[in-house]
Structure 1
Amino acid sequence: MAHIMIAYVLWLVGGWSGLHHFYLGRDRQAFIWWSTFGGCFGLGWFRDLWRIPEYIFAANRDIGYMREFSYKRKNYKHPPFNTVRFVGQIVLGWAFGALVRLCITEENAYRGLGWLFCVAVPPCAVALGVHLVANVQPERASFQWPLIGALCGMVWLIYDTGSLHYSAIISAIFVNWKGKEWNPEVGNNRGFCKRLFTLVFCCLLYSTLWGVVIYQNASITTKDGEEVPLREAIPNFFNSPAWAEMKESLKELYKFYQVHGFEKLWEEIVEKLDPTGEANAYKVLNLTDDATEKEIKARYRNLVKEWHPDKQKDPSKKAEAQEKFMEIQRAYEILSKIQSKRMRQNKKDRRKEEDYDQMNRGRWKKDEF
């Protein structure tokens, strides 16, 4: 039995992801809310504020709700037209179609089979989105009518592969005109594990499509202002020295885990991330982490003399020297602060040890008497 207080708590906490709909057995609606950030960017979530009691009655198969539902099925052969559901069909159908369309770049859209992909596949995704909204309880619809309507919109896609709104509108018209009927199965009688697996699989598939879109269309801007497509930058990263160092770090962490276990692993990960900048400072000064204070000062003085901007005769290298000079100074300041803190901490530790020794000596003298 579904409880209204639990439903409202889930609505408040995880309403944007459709958590309350999953609790009430409305899995399709939960996926729609999750994929559209709360039902078209929070509009559906806000509407649920006064719709949840009706959903509770349906989930619990309330006698009054079932009597009213039977009356509607007898007096209306097909469910009446619903503006909110119709708009939702258009929005989700267009969103699914646009997502699939973006999986292929403009460069490849008119090469070989790319054009066929842009014209034939997005309407199928549009039909899927329309069909998904059309099957939200208490209604259901077959897939053929939204598919036929979406394929009719291919006429516009031939001239403009981005004109998916025509397919979404025609598909929604077709499913409301011919495809929908009442769903006699009120509630959800499937097992929890099966429902959860299905929902997670659909979410992963949807997220994968978004990953493909980002991979194909996103770009990275370098410090020179050059935009590098992400699909080119990622392979370059895996061939870079940074990735080689990262692989070695991961191997070292795994070996550390085998010896020390999970308890000390987090401390080692934090150390590898170098939050204080100590490791990078040693790298800038070209020193190892066991360098003494004298060695750090000597290296700092030599590098400052070498990279001082006033000693650069070539004007084109002055900017580079200035940047390097500032980097050396920052590295030395970081190491100086860290060493000062450690010296103060060591003094405190020594004092504590001395006080502890004095206390023990006093106790031993009392024991002798």
Structure 2
Amino acid sequence: MRGRDFGVAYGATLLGLVLALWLGGIRSATVVAMLAVLEVALSFDNAVVNATVLRRFDLRWQRIFLTVGVLIAVFGMRLVIPMAVLVAVTRQSPFHVLSSSVHDPNGYAHEILGVQPLIAAFGGVFLLMIAMDFFLSGHDLIWLPFFERRLAAFGERFKPLALEAFQVVGVVLFLFVAAGTFATDHPVGVPIAGVIGLATYFTIKRLSDAAADRSESLADEADETPPQGRQALMLFIYLEVLDATFSFDSVMGGFSVTVDIALFTIGLGIGAAYVRSLTVFLVRKKTLDRYVYLEHGAYYSIGVLAVLLLVEIGPDVPDWLASVAGTSMIVAAFIHSAVKAKGEDPAGAEHPALKS
């Protein structure tokens, strides 16, 4: 890991551990370290997914993602969003929520678990739509033909608006059934949270597509001009929303380690910095061009995580299962890509990077 690519992560680690030592000594520093490792373990697939989008940006926007994006991830997903959810559900002030996390950690943990079905509905629907959009659109490169070709053929049968309407109706019906069957404490909240996830996805997608349509198009798709201006901003927002939603598993898993909001934010913030550094590293090393199935593996991972989040509307899914299930898809795609690359270059000669 070179300092150029991981300098922000190293700096976040040093600052975070110093803060943890100041707040509670060795014990707090140990908790922060555990949270950082948890974040990286649960979010490796997140880095691969981020890289599939980030590789479209130029160096300036990559740096923005690595710096400003870290701040958004730390203070947005890992501090503001959990508190905002609790404020909205409990109808208590942010100060009370923050105070409870420090002085009444057990009560705070109970509040988090109480709204987990709502978080799962929002995150599961958002990620499911992303995975469906990828597989229903079809691609020249196929990793698992039996599954991907059938989904692509299904997507071709409908016009885009009809397909979206079919998806929306199916998702909403599922949410009402799931809420009535499992989340009896949130019979209305779960469908509303899922619809908000749908609306968030379609809003971001529409804005991004509109900006892309107005941008300069290229004849050669293999050599796309990096997005600029409004298009770059819309893609950046999409990337941040995707990254935040994809981090729900690590956020929920983090509460199994501690409910101290300060240590929680510091630990997962350090992990988020490493995930972003790893994302930029994958882009700059052109790893996704060489290992051509990694992108497919990432979207399979998104689909698996989406399903597990939707399952969590009812029974709890162990954190280790989400981690293993998501990461295993990435590992399988990496191994298959490596075998493919070796088969196409048996003599070890240098060839142009493979394009997906």
Q: TM-score normalised by the shorter chain: which range applies? A: under 0.3
Structure 1 length as normaliser, TM-score? 0.24
Structure (1 or 2) with the larger CA radius of gyration: 1
Structure 2 length as normaliser, TM-score? 0.25
Higher RCO structure, 1 or 2 (CA under 8 Å, sep 6+): 2
